[in-house]
Amino acid sequence: MTIHTAEEFVIPQKIPFEVPLVLQNGQVLPRFDLMVETYGTLNADKSNAVLICHALSGNHHVAGRHTHEDKYPGWWNNMVGAGKPIDTEKFFVVGLNNLGGCHGSTGPLSANPASGENYGADFPMVTVKDWVHSQAMLADYFGIAQWAAVAGGSLGGMQALQWAIDLPERVRHALVIASSPKLSTQNIAFNDVARQAILTDPDFHGGHYVRFNTVPRRGLRIARMMGHITYLAEEGLGKKFGRALRGEGYQYGYGIEFEVESYLRYQGDKFSERFDANTYLLMTKALDYFDPAAEYGHNLQTALSRTQAKFFVASFSSDWRFAPERSHELVKALVAAHKPVQYIEVESNHGHDAFLMEDEPYTRAVRAYMNNVYKELQA
Amino acid sequence: MTIHTAEEFVIPQKIPFEVPLVLQNGQVLPRFDLMVETYGTLNADKSNAVLICHALSGNHHVAGRHTHEDKYPGWWNNMVGAGKPIDTEKFFVVGLNNLGGCHGSTGPLSANPASGENYGADFPMVTVKDWVHSQAMLADYFGIAQWAAVAGGSLGGMQALQWAIDLPERVRHALVIASSPKLSTQNIAFNDVARQAILTDPDFHGGHYVRFNTVPRRGLRIARMMGHITYLAEEGLGKKFGRALRGEGYQYGYGIEFEVESYLRYQGDKFSERFDANTYLLMTKALDYFDPAAEYGHNLQTALSRTQAKFFVASFSSDWRFAPERSHELVKALVAAHKPVQYIEVESNHGHDAFLMEDEPYTRAVRAYMNNVYKELQA
């Protein structure tokens, strides 16, 4: 097997945009950087570009490794790479860290030109529409007039959907995976609890914790632990951990007793060390605000009637965060708007996280779809 | 309509037990009090007594009001009272605050005879088995050899089930409502997050917060907000709040935006002022530990083969905390053990909390069942 160096060792690049960006809430970002990774080669007519949008805690590092020492590859390494369903031998794939992120793009940890200090809580609230806007500027930077496809899972799928609605002529295909046309009341409720855990952490200091040399680790840890439960399904959790105990019999104390506790706390600990709390807050708000139908009289069909893309929609049977019913809403509205859509409902025990997992029927469906996208480009 | 003073104004009584109680974990409570309310009259042969067991945050105040000024009646006032499904004109109904509680029974807020100070974190871990044991001592106190029925929802239903297994000759009927033969992995996971929110609150002080004149209100609030989501169902939440906003349009801030946030925060605030954090921790642990089949080779049918009670089991369609499937497990094991069981699955939008709500088919089923219990006593 040939080693595709370009894929195996990817080099992130920070792309500066020295122009003001007017945000949905009316605030203006005077300038911004986007942290980007690309895989594969942009063809001569720049028609083979695929944009990958990340979910709540993702970033630009979609696939491959940065160094030999990297323990894990990018977050969608199953899906993106040479010979993978989104094949980097055919497509020029672009991953980015969204505005407001904490992995190199301008966000709460960046310097605020107004103060010289980091933004912290002063970073403006960004929305899915803002991200699409900034991603369009990124497309311009690469000279990409139209994406062959915009793809993402969860919050990433929402960006793909918003792209197709806001900039219809610039998207040939939208892959909306494990996503939803808007959050449910329960989704918003969970987000609020997560935010409250962070906002009420005494180390949060109104979001200016960097100034105080603290990090609201407790709150972020609780938020992530809870979030993690909603990403998984009892089917998978039960199979993996059941009621298995760490030691012999009950300990009658508050240490780790059940294996699932060990797993969850580990996830919370790890996350609270690597992720920025202000970014977490912003991302959950972007989720809450997402509701593309709202601009069109709260009629999703009307919103979708503008789109020119073909759609691939996928959901996962045990996903209770964005259940298959949420994808059905989208598919029904697309059908009603006479838009081409291909839908797959994947049997899975992995809940919402299934969109990140290796799964044969899911992978095969994306591969087949992307092969057709490629054929279309050749025609 | 006659005013039944005995029902309308109930007087709680604290019953002291000046004997040591050996707990499941091997620790000994040197003495304890149980806070109790009774409704109706115990008949001459003491055969008409019904024990009501409370859930996570419940207590002895099952029905009626204490004073004219009481804003709310007891937590199961729909179900218990004169002419109600559990009719206090027929039955002598006993409600109690469980050991470890924070409403008058011996618990973390009580004085530790060893130190003179309050127990706080030194209060021993109590289990559903311990509760049944202490409730049996309460039955002895009243001279009740056998309960006509032991009834409860959620964790209360678990006590009814444990009663029927541990003291089979002392329970004629067990009403196990919105309950489960044991927690799922997801249930345990949510409990762990709730506990971590409390345990990591800087005001927790290892559970000895009273000494520090603090209360881990933040943690308890987060725990309750999250718990509350799991008690409700999207069906009901969506219908009640949807994506309704508090003000005009998005605020792009972290104040209350969505109505559901206002509701949840209110629930969290209220709870964190009235409930003891150590009790909350203990109750969630009792839930985690509950697994009556474990003593019988993890075979529920074997555990149930000991029972002599007749069973009434009820579940609610939108309850995802203890879904109908969990009641099916119980019913199937009862049937396999050739035990009499009546099962009702109630259509409801109210999720787990449905067991506390007014609902015609549910109420009718309990009424019919309890009428038959009463007829049986007369026969």
> Which of B185, B222, B226 has the CB atom closest to A243's CB atom?
B185
In the structure encoding, which two tokens stand for residue A302, read together? 């009307």
pLDDT tens track for B262-294: 999 999 999 999 999 999 999 999 999 999 999
What CATH number belongs to B188-284?
Answer: 1.10.1740.110
pLDDT at position A251 over 70: yes
- State whether A225 and B199 contact (CB < 8 Å): no
Residues of each domain in chain A carrying CATH 1.10.1740.110: 188-284
Which residues on B lie below 8 Å from A190 (Cβ)?
226, 229
**Structure confidence at residue A213 (pLDDT):** 96
Q: Is the pLDDT of residue B3 over 50?
A: no
- What confidence tens digit (pLDDT) does each residue in A307-350 have? 999 999 999 999 999 999 999 999 999 999 999 999 999 999 99
Whether B115 is catalytic is: no
Q: What is the DSSP string of B326-379?
A: HHHHHHHHHHHTT--EEEEEE--SSGGGGGGS--HHHHHHHHHHHHHHHHHHH-
Chain A interface mutation, best of B25, B128, B254, B266, highest count of A Cβ atoms under 10 Å: B254
Contact B260 A185 (CB under 8 A): yes
pLDDT value of residue A7: 45
pLDDT of B68 reads 87
Q: Is A352 a catalytic residue?
A: yes
Interface contact flag, A195 B243, Cβ < 8 Å: no
The pLDDT tens digits for B156-215 are 999 999 999 999 999 999 999 999 999 999 999 999 999 999 999 999 999 999 999 999
B353 in a labelled binding site:
yes
Mean pLDDT, chain B, rounded, equals 96
- For B216-267, give the DSSP string: -HHHHHHHHHHHHHHHS-HHHHHHHTTT-BSSSS---SSS--BHHHHHHHHH
The one catalytic residue among A154, A179, A315, A348 = A154
- Contacts with B193 from chain A: Cβ below 8 Å: 222, 225-226, 229, 264
pLDDT digits (tens, 9 = 90+) for A257-300: 999 999 999 999 999 999 999 999 999 999 999 999 999 999 99
B192/A288 CB distance under 8 A? no
Residue B224, annotated as binding a ligand: yes
Q: What is the pLDDT of residues B336-353, one digit of tens each?
A: 999 999 999 999 999 999
Q: Tell me the nearest-neighbour CA distance from B153 into chain A, angstroms.
A: 22
Using alpha carbons, list the distances in angstroms from residue B218 to A218, A219, B314: 11, 10, 35
With cut-offs at 50, 70 and 90, classify the pLDDT of residue B9: confident
Q: Is the pLDDT of residue A6 over 70?
A: no
User: Would you state the pLDDT for residue B221?
Assistant: 98
> Taking CB atoms and an 8 Å cutoff, what residues of chain B touch A220?
none
Q: In b/e form, how buried is each residue of A140-170, taking b as 16+ CB within 10 angstroms?
A: eebebeebbbbbbbbbbbbbbbbbbbbbeeb
From chain B, the residues in CB contact with A286 under 8 A are none
Instruction: Calculate what percentage of chain A has a pLDDT beyond 90.
Output: 96
Number of neighbours of residue B27 by Cβ within 10 angstroms = 15
Q: Do A258 and B182 touch (CB under 8 A)?
A: no
**Closest Cβ–Cβ partner in A196, A264, A320 for B225:** A196
A376 pLDDT tier (thresholds 50, 70, 90):
very high
pLDDT value for A2: 36
CA separation (Å) from B339 to A339, B22, B161? Answer: 57, 31, 13
B1: pLDDT confidence band, cut at 50, 70 and 90? very low
Whole-number pLDDT of residue A1: 31
- Interface size between A and B, measured as CB pairs under 8 A: 136
Q: What is the DSSP string of B324-338?
A: HHHHHHHHHHHHHTT
Tokens of A237: 């959790």
> Is position B269 annotated as part of the catalytic site?
no
pLDDT at A8 over 90: no
Closest-CA distance, A321 to chain B, in angstroms, reads 11
**pLDDT (tens digit, 9 = 90+) per residue, B29-62?**
999 999 999 999 999 999 999 999 999 999 999 9
Catalytic residue among B154, B272, B318, B348: B154
Q: In the predicted model, is pLDDT for residue A153 greater than 70?
A: yes
- The one catalytic residue in A130, A166, A276, A319 is A319
Say what the pLDDT of residue A379 is.
86
CATH class, range A5-182+292-378: alpha beta
Nearest to A229 among B190, B201, B289 (CB): B190
- Contacts A234 to B, Cβ<8 Å: 184-186
Candidate list B319, B327, B348, B359, residue with the active-site label = B319
pLDDT of residue B4 exceeding 50: no
Q: Which residues of B touch A197 (CB under 8 A)?
A: 197, 222
Residue A5 predicted with pLDDT over 70: no
Instruction: Identify from A130, A186, A230, A329 which residue to disrupt to test chain B contact, counting B C-beta atoms within 10 A and taking the largest count.
Output: A186
Instruction: Give the closest residue to B353 by CA, choosing from B285, B263, B257.
Output: B263
Q: Which of B60, B103, B350, B352 is catalytic?
A: B352
pLDDT value of position B8: 60
* CATH 3.40.50.1820 domain position(s) in chain B: 5-182+292-378
* Whether the predicted pLDDT of B2 surpasses 50: no
- For the segment A168-194, the average pLDDT, to the nearest whole number, is 98
Contact B237 A189 (CB under 8 A): yes
CA B359, CA B137: separation in Å to the nearest integer? 34
Render pLDDT for B75-97 as a digit per residue (tens, 0 to 9): 999 999 999 999 999 999 999 99
